[in-house]
Copies of this chain bind each other. A is one copy, B any other.
Amino acid sequence: MSIKVKIINDPVYGFIRFPERELMQLIDHAWFQRLRHIKQMGLAHLVYPGATHTRFHHSLGACHLMGKALDELQTKGVVISEEDRLAARIAALLHDVGHAPFSHSLEHTLVGISHEKISRLVMQKMDTETGGMLGRAMQIFDNACPQKYLNQLVSGQLDVDRMDYLNRDSFYTGVSEGVIGYDRILQMLTVRDNELAVEEKGVYSIEKFIIARYIMYWQVYLHKTVLSAELLLINILKRAKQLAGQGKELFATPALSYFLYRNISEKAFINEPEHLNQFCMLDDNDIMVSIKVWQTHEDKVLSTLCKMLILRKLYKVVYNPGSLARNLRQKKDEVKSALKIDDELIEYFVFSGVATNRSYHTSGDVIKIETKEAGVKKITEMEDSLVNQTLAHDIQKKYICFVPF
């Protein structure tokens, strides 16, 4: 009898395999299938039209890379049980299962709880449904597995999440600056004292990886037009919730309506299961169709912002805008007289903020290099390291954001 193996064609990696029955069961679950309708890069496709790939695809990719990483470690003599292998693959598969629509953009707008915590709640619920299949995977997700390298591969500075999203996002955007040598990195992985380490000759690939992430942040994820679209989306939902709070009527899908008309704290979200049920009905499409309808809503703020998004007449974002305060005051005055809106609403049209990113953290779970001569060293301790001040500190860029009319 031939053995049935699920094979998926991934343009990034070629054919990828999911031979484990348990994985297929989780992939087929409605709560995982939901990720098909959540774009990995939110609204970045407004700038990079190819970037329409989803959390679903990314999660499969992360799970695939986990398998490759463990294969590599096993050829180097690390003993990994079948159970641990499956658990680590599950943890990688489900690490993003709790994402809100549009990934990070709406994370704190719709509900007051982080996507990681929601992912954990979903895993808990799936565990119950499957009769306890996810115990070990949750331990890894909780960073509590004694085989620390498994935790690190799921969530660390060199995890399969980052490796997949850099690969995938650069593939779908066409931004070659984000390309990493993931296959070389995988082949350089090793384990020392139960922790992940990298062979010395892989140091250049790791530096390249950290730099690629730095570049992707500033060239893509925090690109001024991408940032502008995300800020617009957040403001739209903020305004919609505000109007809902005032009892105004708003077209919405049932699941979106549920969250517009409620303010749900982290504690409430955890304690009342219906919140999670409703959350798992929500995806990008609910948001987009509602915004489309809101273009003709009687509230001028809401309808104006919605039209801006649908017609792609986004805010203008200026990074490092010289005299911030003066610029801001002037813009506000211009917009107020142009739009004829009240003082307390001007913040929907003119505001300032700070974009922040750090490419590498030098404390906590750092990347370790296994040298031939001097044992395990931190990557920042290597001679001629490229991971310097610029990469290891927060880079903060102030911006002002305003409607361009």
Contact = CB atoms under 8 A, between A and B. Distances in A.
A174 B5 CA distance: 19
Copies in the complex: 4
A131 interface: no
A173 B11 contact: yes
A184 interface: yes
A176 B179 contact: yes
Interface in A276-311: 281, 284-286, 288-289, 292-293, 310-311
Contact of A288 (B7, B19, B37): B37
Contacts of A211: 207-208, 211, 386
A236 to B, nearest CB: 15
Contacts of A265: none
Given A312-B33, A386-B391, A208 B204 contact: no
A205 interface: yes
B52 A14 contact: no
Interface in A313-327: 320, 322
A43 to B, nearest CB: 10
Interface string A162-197: 000000000111111101110110010010000000
Given A9-B50, A14-B174, A320-B373, 11 more contacts: A5-B75, A8-B49, A10-B174, A11-B50, A14-B183, A15-B187, A33-B310, A211-B211, A254-B293, A255-B292, A386-B388
